[in-house]
Structure 1
Amino acid sequence: MADRLTAFAEGAGEAPRVLFYSHDTFGLGHLRRSRALATAITETYPSISSIILTGSPVAGRFTFPAGVDHVRLPGVTKNSAGQYVSQTAGLDIDQATELRSGIIRSVTENYRPDLLIVDKEPTGFRGELLPALEWLQENTQCKLVLGLRDVLDSPETLRAEWARKGATEATEKFYHEIWIYGLQDIYDPTEALPLSPACRARMHWTGYLRRDTVPVAAQEGDPYILVTTGGGGDGANLVDMVISAYEQDPTLEPRAALVYGPFLSGPVREDFERRIARLDGRVRTVGFESQIESLYAGAQGVIAMGGYNTFCEILSFDKPAVVVPRTFPRMEQYIRASRAEALSLIRMLDEHRDGFTPEAMIAAIRGLATQPPPSAGHYEGLLGGLEEVTRRTGVLLPQLAKAAP
């Protein structure tokens, strides 16, 4: 790998290089966000080359645009007890982390990026990014950016987590800018963090990251709603509620297009498939859809979990949506959904207020027909994230100034 990267760097001339770090221990969120950013940056500045460092086991199932490549890190995941374990045979979690850290350092030294964009974790998974950050700071003029989603977790949990990981110190020491992919007047994920005024002055609020919309093709068959669990690793409860709603109410319309996500466990999915087979086509399923945009485009509405990428898709396609947020292991989705509901952007199905019952889901599905889309909330400036990211890239890499649109 080192030889290949060295040859690549030597042959790249003066083309600016952007490296993305996306630790991806669970789900699809970090990889999909990094991919969206890399796509926007390289489309705006075609001279740029980009590499995404990712731990996602499904990275190879995505397409990447010209100028964007990826390097797969050895996988880690959480077991049923909530502990991280290695997915590489013969390695425990400490050995896997050390191996990942070595790969990150090797790619960084050989690729020599002009810009590093780190997703969410200032020190990386279990501190694996620190050796590369130290090397870049000591040996290069690389600009370091920490990218944060709009909501991270509850303030008290986040404060304790960052203290435990040394994330506050790393943010202060290494990062030239912090990009927050949201709007401060909706939610400030850093409010409870003990960051210095100087560090806060380096923050840039980008707005949410617009997703590519696609033309709505002529409808084939009956209208449908889209049901999506994101990565699917924690989506079984949502899927069960949707199936139960169609089982309980034979007149429930429209039909559902249900995307399980790649991480929904096999045995659980097999049970769902047996139940769905008895619904006479009223619920149709897809295991994984890398181009989910086409399903959004044709849907009358959306039932979904409350991850960042899903929320951006709902806003981008302007679909009436009911969000069913998780509250464990993080409060992120619940906080995001609560704020969005207060702004009339979506409706939330709250376990304590509404109940996670078939009756509540039946009402939610039926209500989509008359629920207004997010644009009816008249909240301006929501989806300017990619434009602001590309603008900041041009500022940080002044050699791109002549190529700016």
Structure 2
Amino acid sequence: MKRRFDEARILMYSHDTFGLGHLRRCRTIAHALVEDYRGLNVLIISGSPIAGAFEYRARVDFVKIPSVIKLRNGEYTSLEKHIDLQDTLTMRQSIIRSTAETFRPDIFIVDKEPLGLRGEVEDTLSYLKTRGTALVLGLREVMDAPQLLEAEWKRADVMRKIGMFYDSIWVYGPPDFYDPLTGLDVPQAVSSKMDFVGFLQRKVPDVQAPDHRPEGNYLLVTTGGGGDGADLVHNVIHAYQSDPDLTHPALIVLGPYMPAKKRRKLMRKSAPISQIRMIEFDNRMEDLIAGASGVVAMGGYNTYCEIMSFDKPALIVPRVAPRQEQLIRAKRASELGLLDMLLPEQAEDPAIMAAKLKELPSRPRPSQSAPNLRLEGLSRISDLVGDWLERSERRHFSVVDGGS
């Protein structure tokens, strides 16, 4: 039976500067929580330019903050070119603080960036801590190469501030897959708060299937947000051009952030190939992955969870710069036999890529290599949230009774 928490509120922060991963992860968690707990309301603060392109369940909403994008060299710039980056960051910080003050959350969940983009959440963390809000940091199971993450965090004294601000750290993966803080000097004040909740299982939404989902068997090629996915799509097209025996139908999803010039070029290039169908974006990727006979992707966190959830053979060609997150995840999953992997330079060879695409549908599914694989993150998070809200409810009644 579902618990009911009247007027309980959870605020989530998703900085969203490059792809869709952070918003999609927050949205998945939010939907699971409102499904489990009646009366609970979740508000997501997001910098994604396309936050409104997704569907949200009742009692889940979002606040849009001005968008900042990450360039391929790792630097940031305002999405609106006529607005100074610092002015944009100041606006974002102000909106985040104001939202927290008005919404008055019981729990504040920060996705991936402990202090927010350029420290924009630190002020809000300080404020919410004074009013007794439970503060949670959610980390992907893989963050980045240890030396890169350590250098990034040292500049802003992040590790110390994590220990100072946060009540709990959720790692969105099992402990035997990867530790996101491996190789770092982790103080007891941080390590004692880490809870490896497990991967976040996905399911097909209860809505009509996308109109462009192909009939029958097809390979799904997805680049996530698509901002740096043009090379993967080009290599898949090149493989089809080079090998007439590669006849398996393919649906390619370019991603909403792929630059228009590259998108048009790839569409022209693929037009003569009858086996390829290409679309720009779909907000129900779960449905497309569930229907595919195999998945070709760069291997971001959400795509990986969907591959595991729907038990699909997969070929991963990971991004290797500026972050090594996808490379580390793909190597580890490949070691465990969960998927196949090509390095970007290998994928450039059309013969190698064509061979991998032809064998993909018959590759073992993840469950065949790891029969005990569990995706229990959402249920574990739900239990943790339920415990917190119950304690908060008891404290509230205790205060009320004591004052009567």
- TM-score (norm. length: structure 1): 0.91
Is 1:176 equivalent to 2:174 in the alignment? Answer: no
Say which is worse superposed, 173-182 or 373-382, in terms of deviation: 373-382
CA distance in structure 2 between the partners assigned to 1:401 and 1:343 by the alignment: 43
Number of equivalenced pairs: 386
Of 14, 26, 30, the residue aligned with 1:34 is: 26
- Residue 115 of structure 1 corresponds to which residue in structure 2? 107
SS of the aligned residue for 1:284 comes to strand
CA distance in structure 1 between the partners assigned to 2:216 and 2:44 by the alignment: 40
Cα deviation, residue 223, structure 1: 2.1
CA distance in structure 2 between the partners assigned to 1:328 and 1:83 by the alignment: 13
The answer to whether the 8 Å contact 1:150/1:181 transfers is yes
- Residue 230 of structure 1 corresponds to which residue in structure 2? 224
Is 1:269 equivalent to 2:263 in the alignment? Answer: yes
CA distance in structure 1 between the partners assigned to 2:361 and 2:126 by the alignment: 54
Q: Where does the alignment leave 5 or more consecutive residues of structure 2 unmatched?
A: 395-404
- Residue 321 of structure 2 corresponds to which residue in structure 1? 328
The answer to whether the 8 Å contact 1:213/1:316 transfers is no
CA distance in structure 1 between the partners assigned to 2:300 and 2:73 by the alignment: 22
- Residue 8 of structure 2 corresponds to which residue in structure 1? 16
Root-mean-square deviation over aligned CA pairs: 2.0
Of 10, 13, 17, the residue aligned with 1:25 is: 17
CA distance in structure 1 between the partners assigned to 2:327 and 2:247 by the alignment: 27
CA distance in structure 1 between the partners assigned to 2:74 and 2:182 by the alignment: 27
- Residue 177 of structure 2 corresponds to which residue in structure 1? 186
The answer to whether the 8 Å contact 1:151/1:332 transfers is yes
Equivalent residue letter for 1:183: P
Cα deviation, residue 126, structure 1: 0.3
CA distance in structure 1 between the partners assigned to 2:47 and 2:276 by the alignment: 32
Question: Once the two structures are aligned, what percentage of the paired residues are identical?
Answer: 44
The answer to whether the 8 Å contact 1:46/1:67 transfers is no
- Residue 93 of structure 1 corresponds to which residue in structure 2? 85
The answer to whether the 8 Å contact 2:72/2:322 transfers is no
The answer to whether the 8 Å contact 1:20/1:53 transfers is yes
Equivalent residue letter for 1:277: A
Of 337, 340, 349, the residue aligned with 2:330 is: 337
CA distance in structure 2 between the partners assigned to 1:17 and 1:204 by the alignment: 22
CA distance in structure 2 between the partners assigned to 1:116 and 1:15 by the alignment: 15
SS of the aligned residue for 1:232 comes to coil
CA distance in structure 2 between the partners assigned to 1:320 and 1:208 by the alignment: 18
CA distance in structure 2 between the partners assigned to 1:220 and 1:358 by the alignment: 25
Cα deviation, residue 81, structure 1: 5.1
The answer to whether the 8 Å contact 1:222/1:254 transfers is no
1:51-200 alignment to 2 at 5 Å?
51-79=43-71, 82-88=74-80, 90-138=82-130, 140-200=131-191
1:384-395 alignment to 2 at 5 Å?
384-395=376-387
- Residue 304 of structure 2 corresponds to which residue in structure 1? 311
- TM-score (norm. length: structure 2): 0.91
Say which is worse superposed, 184-193 or 332-341, in terms of deviation: 184-193
Is 1:212 equivalent to 2:206 in the alignment? Answer: no
Of 280, 286, 291, the residue aligned with 1:287 is: 280
- Residue 371 of structure 1 corresponds to which residue in structure 2? 363
Equivalent residue letter for 1:192: G
Of 288, 298, 309, the residue aligned with 2:291 is: 298
Cα 1:115/1:309, change in 2 over 3 Å: same
CA distance in structure 2 between the partners assigned to 1:369 and 1:177 by the alignment: 41
- Residue 400 of structure 2 corresponds to which residue in structure 1? none
SS of the aligned residue for 2:315 comes to strand
Of 233, 249, 252, the residue aligned with 2:246 is: 252
Cα deviation, residue 214, structure 1: 6.2
CA distance in structure 2 between the partners assigned to 1:386 and 1:188 by the alignment: 19
CA distance in structure 2 between the partners assigned to 1:322 and 1:386 by the alignment: 26
Cα deviation, residue 394, structure 1: 1.1
Q: Where does the alignment leave 5 or more consecutive residues of structure 1 unmatched?
A: 1-12
The answer to whether the 8 Å contact 2:6/2:38 transfers is no
The superposition leaves residues 327-385 of structure 1 with CA deviations (integer Å, 9 ceiling, x where unpaired) of: 00111001000000110110111246x45311111011111132001001125243111
The answer to whether the 8 Å contact 1:45/1:400 transfers is no
